[in-house]
Structure formats: C-alpha cells, structure tokens
Chain A
Amino acid sequence: MERIHTTLPESVQVADAVQAPAAADESGTVVDYEVGLVSLNQWQLAWRKFKKHRLALIGLGMLAVLILAAVVGPILAPYDFYTIPKPDQFVTIGRPPSLAHPFGETARLQRDVLELVVNGARTSLFIGFSSMFIGVFIGTVVGAISGFMGGFIDNLLMRIVDVMLSLPLLFIILVASRFFANGSVVLIIVIFGLFSWMGISRLVRSLFLSIREREFVEAARAVGVTDQRIIFRHILPNAISPIVVAASLLIAGNIITEAFVSFLGFGVNPINPTWGNILTSAQEFLNQGNWWWPFFPGLVIILTVLAVNFVGDGLRDALDPKTRA
C-alpha cells in the first residue's frame, strides 16, 4: 500500500497555498514552486511542529508560571518566610484553605502552605534542572567517547554502565544522600547527577555509532578534519534531538526522586523547604485532618511533572524528522 502521508521528503513541507513566485518569504524559508514545497531549517521546522502540539504549549506555559513563581514568589509573598509566625503556638490542626491562605496552614507551626510550596519550588526545580545538566553532561561525554573511540575503551565504559544499571539505583541514591549530602542541596544535585547519566550515555553512544558511519562524517574525515572537530561540529549537532528529549524525562524523574528522598528525611535539610520535605511531618498530623498540608505540595509536583512530560512529548514529535508538521 502506498504510504500517502510519507511520500514527501523529510524536512520539507507543503506550501499552504499557491503563492506568487518569490525567492524567499519573510521568515527566510525557500519555496520551491515546481513541486510546491517549502524547505525550512531544522529548528524552524521543529518550532512549527512544536506549536501544533497543544499539550506541549500548555506544558511550556505551566513551566513558565512555575519558574516565575519560584523566582519572584518569595519576594512578593506577604509573609516573611524566615520568621516563624506563631512560634509559641504548637497546634495539631492547621487551618483549612481560606482567602488569606489559599493552600491552608500547617499544623504545629501554622505556616502558610502556599508560601512553603512557592519556596519549595525554588529548590525542587533547581535540583531537577541542575542534576539533569550534570547527568546529561556526564552521559554525553561518556557516550561520545565510547561511541567514537570504540574498542577497549568502549567495552570498558559500557561494562561500567551495565554495572551501574544493575544497581538498585533508588536505594543507592537514598543511601548516598543520607551518608554524603547532609541535607546540602549542592551535594544532592551531584549525587542525582552521578547516578542518572547511564541512559543518556547509552543513547549518545548508539547515536555516535550510527552517525559515525554516515556519509558526511566519512567525507569530513576524508578531507582531513580533526577528530575533535568531527565530534563537535559534525556528530553532536545531529545527536542533539534525542538527547533533548531524554533530558526532559530526566528532569521529571529527578523532581520526583528528590521529593521522595527529602520526604523520607534523607534529602534536603528542612530549613530549605522542598516539595518533598514539606510532606515529611505532614504524615504524622494526618489523622487529625490537615489534608491540605500534603495535598497541595503533591498537586504541584504532579502539575510540574505533567508539564515537563508534555514538553518532552512535544519535543519528541517536533524533533523527529519522521513526523510531519
């Protein structure tokens, strides 16, 4: 059966309508009138496809709001975070959501939950993104070396990856956070990064193996281009799309893992609120009610991870040359 929707060449789009001949339209795209096609560069095309992905746009908007809240929220908040409002009043039941406190107030110190969530967003998002960068960096370097060098080095690195992937990573991260991090955000980020690069390295290695064999790399090698230049100018740009998609999933994973580790009390010091450690003490007061205390931080985690996953899905479709805009 003829595949009607895939007969057109990749990264080529059908022009919207018959247009008057012109060398290029205002967006810099070139129109080939003989077959009525518009060719776009990779990123223009990706953005076009991304824009059509409604959920991805919503996700992007949600992320923007969250990051904005994390940055300016604590400044705008009516309550000073570091002065505890009612230090003498330890209560077992906080206050349910009201106009003054939309997410309610906690038991014990009667803190504003919205305030905690907004402050937590800073640390949680910071950890999610920063540890992703570390993971992607290590993974890309290891994968690139492995895929480009091949032979013994490739074998050695991939066996290390095998070993790392055979570890019960959640346990290891938990133990490492407890033993090394001492509640420090930076150390938590390093630990998360150190134990999350393996998937990326396998991905990058396989990309390198396949791209290395492609004609344009052969051609570059034939005219005497250095290895370094081949890696950075010829191979990496072609490997970027899948890495970006994998990285977005890593962010989501890191945010959930951080929440989990901190919830258990082995993560970030509670002086520094995160979406995880806000919940730590919420559990003990649960049988008195206080549902709003754990509910809202969790809801924000869900929304964040949803947003990141939506963006990831959008990126996957947008960067995949096989899908059409």
Chain B
Amino acid sequence: MTEVLTTAAKGSPPPSDILLDVRNLVTHFRVMDGVVPAVDGVSFQLRRGETLGIVGESGSGKSVTALTIMRLLEIPPAQIVDGEIWFNGRELLGLTETEMRHIRGNDIAMIFQEPLTSLNPVFTVGDQIAEQVRLHLKLSRKASWDRAIESLKLVGIPTPERRVKQYPHELSGGMRQRVMIAMAISCEPKLLIADEPTTALDVTIQAQILELLKTIQARTKSSLILITHDLGVVADMVRNVLVMYAGQAVEEGTVEEVLLSPRMPYTMGLIESIPSVDKRGGRLSAIKGTVPSPFHLPPACRFQPRCPFAWDLCQREPPELYSIGGGRHARCLLHTKQANPVSLERFQKQLAVLQARAAGAEAPAAAVESPAAGQPA
C-alpha cells in the first residue's frame, strides 16, 4: 500500500503544524465467519485548526477509522493490524491505556451519532459533563459544575442553570446533541471528531447543529473531523474531504475540488445522488448495486462491480491512491497510462455534464484539468 499522503519517514513524528497524521491504518474485525478488513490502509493528515470531512456509505470504514484513532474499539474482535497515528507529536497506538485515557475527552473529543443512547439515562447532563471536567482539568466539584453550565451556554442552550440538572430524556433531540457538543468542548480539546452528528436528528435541527459545530470550531480554533455519509453536509463545513469506500480512501482533496471535479467514479456517483432543487424533474441517479460484502471484496478495484466506467483491467490490477496533481489523490486506473480510452472519454463526458450542471446552479466551476494528467505515484 502506498503512503502517498505521508510526509515524514516511518516511525518519526510529522512537522509540528500537523496535528494529526494517520499513516497506513489497517483495522480488522475477527468475527465468526472470518476477518473483516474494516479499515484497509488509510492515510491522511490534519493541520492544526483545520477541518476534514470523511465521507462514505455505511460500512466504508469511516467510523472505524475514528474509533481507531480514539482507540475505543473493543479488542478483540477488533485488531489494529498496522499503521501509525501521530497526534500532537505523539504516536497514539504505542501509548498505554492510561496515557490514552488522558488524551480522550481532554485532547481529542468525540461526538456520536445518536445523542439519546450516547448519554447515560440515569445521570443528569450536568453530572456527565462535570465528571469529565473534574477528571481532566482537576477542578473542584463546584468549579466543574460551573464549567458544565458554561459549556451548555456556549452551545446555545437557554437557561443552562436549569438544564444542567435535567436528565437526557427530558431534553429534545437537538438539545441532547447540543449537550454532547458541550461535553466534547468542555475540556477545550485540540481535535473534535463528529461521527454523523446530525444523522439521527430532524432535518430542521440538522442545519442548526452543523452551524453550531462550525461556530464552535471557529471560536475554539480546534481541528475538526466531520464524518458523514452525506456529501451535501461537508460542502460548507470543511476544507478538505476524504472519500472512503470499502475500507479504503478513494479520493482526497479540498472540498471545492472534489465536489466540482471528482476524479473517482464513486465520488461522481455520490455527487449525482445528492438531490438538489435545480435537478428537479430530472432523474435522481443512484449508484447501482450495493456495498460489497466485507467477506467477499471484489479483487483488484473494490468499486469495479458497480462502476459504469470499468473495463477488463479493473478486475485484475488493484488501483493505488494516485497523486493527480494539485495535492489531490484518487484511487482509479483512469488516472494512469493504462486507462482505457473509451472509458476515459465517457468519464470526461460525464464529468463535463456534472460541471455544466454545477456551473448553471452555482458559481463558475474551478478550472478543469485533464483527468489523465495525473501520473501513478
């Protein structure tokens, strides 16, 4: 597996402006029927104060990536087979559980998908936030409680002095997620990981929560990883985006570039399946087929059975994450010299249609370079 996104040599820390450097991460699950390669060689970097979106369908390995970084997976069945995770100059996978505990909630905080089940039903929200504050910041009971109220205020909960004494079930879904965010920021972490923070919420609340995350991130200058299955959500939330498919990173770049000129047929499919107002009347396209069974991954390119541009080589030659210029990467043979001209032409045509549609709807698209310009790394 290539390590195109890694700048530093194996075993040595990245430059200090890089907060998080994930290198060739491989996480497996051992289940009764065999081994599931949930994360299979994922690498990415995140600068201090920067934002990254990880996008993929369920089963693509995006949540497992996050849980691996937090080292929250149950081992076994999970097993971190390979890779390095450099965070703030330290390698996380080599830390003891005690050292790791001081990082969790303190330096890296996580926001989960389902706020109702993620909050403990038998403790008040204040207890749950203050508990963490007391643990990491070594504050007194009183001071932690005040800080809990402070955090609740920060996430826009009205009358926090009253809410702090309530139980999770007494709050609305949006309120609960605000509590989760308040808990996450209570110790001023350097990195926030939000795992599908809005999926379980009403559509009207979703926008509010995303807006809140954005504001909080801007105010606290922490880095943010936003994990979602919805490309539409990342569009105005993050700077960079990493698209994952079947445990692998398949495309990487800034959010504008990836959204306006995708270089991987899978990303293109994801973009086309976003419903939008201007496409009204037209057909909403979906990627054909389903995510492959993790026990029976297709040989070579994992997206090939569902790919409209695939040709015979795609079944034989496993694609790597090729650098395609401008700091972008894509895992597709179309970006190699071996590309099938017919497929390439169809791909470019499709890309042009996509861009024309986007240009019609929004600001002019970024300059399009030839997809074939990229060279194998």
Query: Chain A residues in contact with chain B, CB under 8 A?
Result: 1-2, 4-5, 7-8, 14, 18, 34-37, 324
Contact = CB atoms under 8 A, between A and B. Distances in A.
Nearest to A36: B296
Interface centre among B59, B292, B293 (most CB of A within 10 A): B293
**7 nearest A-B pairs in the assembled complex, by CB-CB distance:** A36-B296, A4-B29, A5-B31, A4-B36, A1-B63, A14-B295, A2-B59
Contact of B293 (A1, A2, A35, A324): A35
A37 B295 CA distance: 11
Main SS of the interface on chain B?
A: loop
Contact of A7 (B59, B63, B67, B73): B59
Interface in B59-75: 59, 61, 63-64, 67, 73
Given A14-B33, A324-B32, A4 B38 contact: yes
Nearest to B305: A34
Contacts of A8: 293
Interface of B: 29, 31-33, 36, 38, 58-59, 61, 63-64, 67, 73, 289-290, 292-296
Given A2-B38, A4-B36, A5-B31, A35 B64 contact: no
B58 A2 contact: yes
B67 A1 contact: yes
B64 A2 contact: yes
Contact of A4 (B289, B290, B294, B296): B294
A242 to B, nearest CB: 24
A251 B228 CA distance: 51
Given A1-B64, A4-B36, A5-B31, A14 B59 contact: no
B295 to A, nearest CB: 5
Could you tell me the dominant secondary structure of chain A's interface residues? Answer: loop
Nearest to B290: A35
Contacts of A37: 293
Given A4-B31, A14-B296, 10 more contacts: A1-B64, A2-B64, A5-B31, A5-B32, A7-B59, A8-B293, A18-B296, A35-B290, A36-B296, A37-B293
23 contacts: A1-B63, A1-B67, A2-B38, A2-B58, A2-B63, A4-B59, A4-B294, A7-B58, A7-B59, A8-B293, A14-B33, A14-B293, A14-B295, A14-B296, A18-B296, A34-B289, A35-B290, A35-B293, A35-B296, A36-B293, A37-B293, A324-B32, A324-B33
A18 B38 CA distance: 21
A7 B293 CA distance: 8
A324 B295 CA distance: 14
A2 to B, nearest CB: 5
B53 to A, nearest CB: 18
Contacts of B295: 14, 36
A64 B31 CA distance: 33
Nearest to B292: A35
Contacts of A35: 290, 292-293, 296
A185 B315 CA distance: 72
A296 B191 CA distance: 67
Nearest to B38: A4
A195 to B, nearest CB: 38
Contacts of B63: 1-2
Contacts of A5: 29, 31-32
A7 B296 contact: no
B61 to A, nearest CB: 8
B235 to A, nearest CB: 24
Contacts of A2: 38, 58-59, 61, 63-64
B287 to A, nearest CB: 15
Nearest to B73: A1
Nearest to B67: A1
Nearest to A52: B32
B246 to A, nearest CB: 12
